[in-house]
Amino acid sequence: MRHLEKRSLSLNGHRTSVALEPAFWAALEQAAAAGGQTLAGLVAAQDAGRENPDQPLASHLRVFALEWAGRIAR
């Protein structure tokens, strides 16, 4: 079983930590690179663009990573 990997990021000038499984981090890194962004930039954009601010950022990032992977798999 793979454990969560915690990463610290700066979002809107505040430090925060996000814990995700390594496979999700890998997908997010690929999505960032494909979009010409840094991982921190991608996460900041996803954080700012959340339709439901009550949804935890980690959950939002998992859904984003799955949707992104699905789009490139087509």
Model confidence at 1, in pLDDT bands (50, 70, 90)?
low
Model confidence at 48, in pLDDT bands (50, 70, 90)?
very high
Model confidence at 53, in pLDDT bands (50, 70, 90)?
confident
Express as a percent the part of the chain with pLDDT over 70: 97
Looking at residues 50-72, what average pLDDT do you find? 93
**Amino acid at site 50:** R
**Amino acid at site 31:** A
Residue 65 has pLDDT above 90, yes or no: yes
DSSP 34: H
| Predicted model pTM | 0.90
